[in-house]
Amino acid sequence: MLIFDFSDFPILETNRLLLRQIVKEDASEMFALRSNPEIMRYIPREMPKNIDDAINHIEYMQGLLDNNECINWAICLKENPKLIGNIGYFRMQPENHRAEIGYMLATQFHGKGIMQEALTRIIEYGFQNMKLHSIEAVTDPENYPSWKLLEKNGFIREGHFKQDTYWQGVYLDSFVYSLLNPNEN
């Protein structure tokens, strides 16, 4: 079984991006991100109603981080430390050497290769540093940009679950993807 320890938070870089810890000072950007109906369209989660909700979300995620149950990075441009998105590992299964990846990005940064850059770095971190055997991703079948990004990065669609999530009075389908560590076997 894997043992995760995020007590020394890993700050990661790419050519254009700084991936850093999310802090309470990111609340207004997190609120803007998670209260945007276009961004949240395919994410069956409550949208924050105010900054306090965003702060509560950040504190909740910090609690999970403190317990080594998830890790979530703020996506920032190197020239500006303002949060423009987030990416991280959730629903970690140390007994299975597996974690689920999730991400979101402010709409004005869509189509610029930013999520591709962040995803590449986080996958690398997951396999090399966390020693994951596999990474899972779950996406809405209608979220074409998300599942195309996953496929571009070698994720294989393992299943199409019909009406597996009940959200706001509607049953939603899910695509489940997986990526195996290429450095194993």
| Cβ-based neighbours of 148, under 8 Å, separated by 6 or more | none
DSSP class of residue 133? S
Instruction: Report mean pLDDT in 10-residue bins for the chain, 185 residues.
Output: 95 98 98 95 91 96 96 97 97 97 97 97 98 97 95 97 89 95 83
For 65, other C-beta atoms within 10 Å of its C-beta total 19
- pTM here? 0.94
| Cβ-based neighbours of 183, under 8 Å, separated by 6 or more | 127, 128
Phi/psi of residue 171, each to 5°? -90, 130
174 and 166 Cβ atoms separated by less than 8 Å: no
